[in-house]
Chains A and B, each alone.
Chain A
Amino acid sequence: MTVDAAVLPPARATLDRDGRLVSADQRLLDLNGRAGGMVGQRLAIPQLVTVVRLAKRLGIRVSRTVVVADGGGDLDLWVRAEPFEAASAPDGVALTVSGWNSRPSWQPAGTSEDAAGDFLRSAADWMWETDSTLSLTFLAASGSMPRTADAALLGQPLTRMFQLGEDDAGTFPILTGLAQRRPFEGQSATLRSTGQPVLLSASPRFDPAGLFVGFIGAARAIDAMERFTADGKAAPTPDLDAVATAFAARLDHTLRAPLDRIIANADRIHAQSDGPLKQDYTNYAADIASAGRHLIGLVDDLVDLQAIERPDFTVAREAIDLIDVARRAAGLLQIRATAARVRIDKPAFGETLPATGEFRRALQVLVNLIANAVRYSPVDGMVWIRAERAGRIAAIIVADQGKGIARIDQDRIFGKFERVDQTEAGGSGLGLYIARRLARTMGGDVTVDSAPGQGARFIFSLPLWG
C-alpha cells in the first residue's frame, strides 16, 4: 500500500436501497462507466457491489481494500460503505472510495506491512508499535538488549520511552512521517531510562479504508561515534566499511532464509510430494524454484562483492594443484552440463600443475568460468578445459563453442553488473567481475580471447608454486 495516492481526494457516491447508483463524483463515475455502468443502474464493479451489499445487509459501515481492473491495469481502492437512513429521502448506502493506486499486474502475497516489519526486525534492538496517537501498544527488546522496564512503558506515549532529537536541518523525521503518513528513518533519540542513543525508523499502518492507525517501528542502539554521524555534526569520517558490512550481513540474513523456504516449497510442489498436481502447476513451481535459486546466487554474489571490495580483503597464498581444482569445478557443473547437453572435456587424471593461491577462491573462479562456458554453449557442444604453463605462470584455459565475444565487449564483460549477452536473463552480471578481482588478489588474472562466431577462451592464471 503506497501512501502517495492517499493524497488524491476520495471520490464519493450515493446508492439507493436497491443498490442503484444515485450520484457519484466524476472519478468514480468514470470508473463505473468504463465497466459499463451508469447512474440509475446498479454498480458495474463487482468488488464494490459486494461491499455495498454487505454494508446494507449488516446495517453497519464496512471498509475494505479491493483491487479492481481498470483498462489494462489494476487499481487498489480503499472502499468504505456506510448505510444511512434519511427521514426525507429513502435510505441507501454512502460510498467513499480512496486510494486509486494502480498496481503492478503481479504483486507478492502478504502485506507490505509484514515486509516492512521483517525488514525493520532484521536490524532492530527494539521493536515497537503505536496507535494513531503514538501511544506504545507493543514493545519488545532483542535478546542482546536489557529489557529496561518495558512493561511500564506500554500504553504510554512513544516520547515517554525516547527523547527525540532533531536532525541537522532542525526537523524531526518522525513528525514528517506522521504528517505525511510515510515511513521514516534516522530519527535520532535517546532512551530515557538509560541515556542510550538510538536511531528510530518506522512504517505507517493503515486500516482497510486507508486511514492511519499507527506506526510499526524499530530502534537501533548506536554508539557515540555513530551518533555524531547521525546528527551530522562534526562527523568523523563515516565508517563506510562498517556500513557496507552491516548491509551485506543484513541482506544475507534477511533474504536467504525466505528464499531457502521458497525454493524448498517450490521444489516440493514440483516433486508432487504431497500428491499429484496439474502439469502446469508443477511447471510453475519449477520456475519459482529456479527464480529463487537465481536470487540466492545474486545474494551470494553481492555478499562476495562486498567482501572482495574491502581494502583489507586478503586471500591465502598456499600451494594448490590447479588441474585438480579445475577437475573439481568441472565435476560440480557436470549435472548442469548434462542437462544442457554439453560435454565437458576435463584434463586427464595424473596431470598436475602446482600454483599459488587459495583453494576455495580458485575453485570459485573456475566454477564461474566453466558455468559461463556451459551456459553459452550450443546443444551438443563441448567445453574444453586445458592446463598451460608458461614461465612462472600456471594457467587454466576454459574454451567454449558459444557465439563468442566481440573485441569491444571484451573489457566490458569484466565490469560490475555486465553480461556477456545483455539480452540474456540469467546471472547477476557480477560473476566475471568477482572472478577477475579474486584472481588479481591472488597475484594472477582472468583474461579473455575471442572473436564473434569463434567461441571464447577464458584464461585463469596464477603464479607458479615454488
Chain B
Amino acid sequence: MPIDDREMEDKTRGGISTLLARAAAADVRADEALHVAIDDVFLPDAARLEDRIRHGVTHVLRDLANGIAAPLRRHAARLLTTRDEGALAELLLASNDDTGARLAAAGSLRDARLMREIVGRVRQEVVADALPTVAREDPDTSSLLPRLLYHADPVVGSSAAALLAAESRRRIGGPLGAPLMSDLPAELHHRLAWLSAAALREQFARAAGAALPALDRALAEAAVRSIATLDENQRLEAVALRLAEALEPTPGERAVLLVEALLDRRLALFIAIIAQGLGLDFADARDVVLDPDGARLWLLLRALDLDRATIARVGLSLGEADPRRDLDSFAEALDTIVAIDPLAARQALAPMLLHRDYRAALTALARGQERSASLRDWIA
C-alpha cells in the first residue's frame, strides 16, 4: 500500500507509461504477425516444409548451436578462472541457458547457407531412414561398406571405415535437445561460433560489470579455439566424398555402387558418388538428389551414362522413400529419360557443372549490376 500520495502518483505514472509502451509494441507485433500470416497463406504447398522436416530442422539448428556454445562457455570460464575472474567464471558455468534458442529468437540463424545445409542434412536423414533395405541375392555377402574395408586399395578401406564411423556419429546424435557436436562446414561453424560468443557476451555483460573486457577476451579466445579445433575432414559429407573419390569408379562400377548404396540406405555415399562422377560439390548433388521433382536427377544420371535398369532402381528406391515423389509418372517417363543422349544431358546441366564459386561470383555480379542499374534509375 502506498505510504503517501506522491508515491502513488509515481506508480500510476509508471504504470501508464509501461502500458503505452506495451500498446506501441503490440502495434508493431500485430503488424509483424500480419505479414507472417500473409506469407504463410501464399506459401505454395510444394515449397512448404513437411512437419517432420521442420521439426528436425528446428532441433538440429538449436542443438548444433548449443553444441558449439556449451564448450565455448566452458573454455571461456576456464580462461576467466586463470585470470582471477573466478566469480564470473562460475556464473558462466552455472548458467544452463539455451544459447541456440536465443540465437534463433534473435533471428541470427536466418542464414541462407546455414539453412541450406541443415535442411539438406535433415531431409537426407529422413529419406535415408525411409529407403527400403533390400536383401542381397546371396545372404552371405556383406553389405557394401564392410566389404569395401577389405578393398585392394588401402585408401578405399580406410575411407570406408571412416564413413561407417561418420554415419554412426551422425545417427547417434543423442536425444533431442542435447547439444550436438558440430560437424558443419568450416565457414558455417565459424559463423555460429562467433554468433554464440556474441550471444554469451550479451547475456553476461551486465553481470560482468568492470570485468567486461576480460569476458570479451575470454569469449573471443574460446571462439578462436572452437574454430581451430573443428576438423572439417571428419564430416560425414566430406568422408563420403573422399570414399567416392578413392573408388573412382568406371561407369559400369558406378551403376553397381549407386544401386548398392541405396539398398544399404547409405544415401550420403549415393550422393557422393554422383557428385564425384560429375565434379559437383556435395551440397549441390544433395539438392538435386533430394528434389522431389526428379527432372534434374534423371538428367544427372543420364549425364553419367547410366542404363535403364539402374535409373529404374534409383527412381524406385527414392520413390518408395519419399512420398512427395510421383513414382507413377516416373515409370511413365522412364523411356523418355533413357532416350536422352548423355552428351545432351551434360550440356543441359552445363551451368550446374561450373565451379560453385564461379557460379556464386556470377550471381553476385548480376545482383550488383541490377542494384546499380536501379540506383541509376532512382538518381535519374
Contacts and interface: CB of A to CB of B under 8 A. Distances in A.
A131 B145 CA distance: 10
A3 to B, nearest CB: 14
B172 A63 contact: no
Given A58-B331, A155-B145, A213 B168 contact: no
Nearest to B311: A58
Given A138-B167, A156-B146, A211 B135 contact: yes
Interface string A244-279: 000000000000000000000000000000000000
B141 A133 contact: yes
Nearest to B309: A60
A150 B264 CA distance: 20
Nearest to B312: A58
Given A133-B142, A135-B143, A155-B161, A213 B316 contact: no
Given A59-B334, A140-B172, A212-B135, 19 more contacts: A57-B331, A58-B315, A60-B312, A62-B316, A131-B142, A131-B143, A132-B135, A132-B140, A138-B164, A138-B168, A154-B161, A155-B145, A155-B146, A206-B135, A209-B135, A211-B135, A211-B139, A213-B135, A214-B143
A139 interface: yes
28 contacts: A54-B327, A57-B331, A57-B334, A58-B331, A59-B308, A131-B142, A132-B136, A133-B139, A133-B142, A137-B145, A138-B171, A139-B168, A140-B172, A143-B174, A151-B161, A151-B162, A151-B165, A152-B161, A154-B164, A154-B168, A155-B145, A155-B160, A155-B164, A208-B132, A209-B135, A213-B133, A213-B135, A214-B133
A135 B141 CA distance: 10
Interface in A178-231: 205-209, 211-214
B139 A132 contact: yes
B268 to A, nearest CB: 13
Contacts of B134: 63, 207-209, 211, 213
Interface size class of A (residues with CB under 8 A): 20 to 34
A152 B162 CA distance: 9
Interface of A: 53-54, 57-60, 62-64, 131-133, 135-140, 143, 150-152, 154-156, 205-209, 211-214
Contacts of B174: 143
A156 B149 CA distance: 9
A59 B143 CA distance: 24
Nearest to B139: A132
B313 interface: yes
B313 A135 contact: no
Contacts of A208: 132, 134
Contacts of A57: 331-332, 334
A159 to B, nearest CB: 13
Contacts of B142: 131, 133, 135
Contacts of A59: 308-309, 312, 334
A60 B135 contact: no
B348 to A, nearest CB: 23
A58 B327 CA distance: 10
A139 B170 CA distance: 11
The CB with the most chain B CB atoms within 10 A, among A60, A137, A143, A155, is that of A155
Nearest to B136: A132
A426 B220 CA distance: 60
A146 B181 CA distance: 17
Interface string B127-160: 0000011111001111101100100000000001
A243 B132 CA distance: 37
Contacts of A151: 161-162, 164-165, 168
B255 to A, nearest CB: 12
Interface string B304-326: 00001100110110001000000
A140 B312 CA distance: 34
From B145, B164, B171, residue with most partner A Cβ within 10 Å: B164
B309 to A, nearest CB: 5
B146 A207 contact: no
Contacts of A213: 133-135
A135 B146 contact: yes
Contacts of A138: 164, 167-168, 171
B156 to A, nearest CB: 12
A140 B309 CA distance: 36
A435 B300 CA distance: 69
A57 B160 CA distance: 35
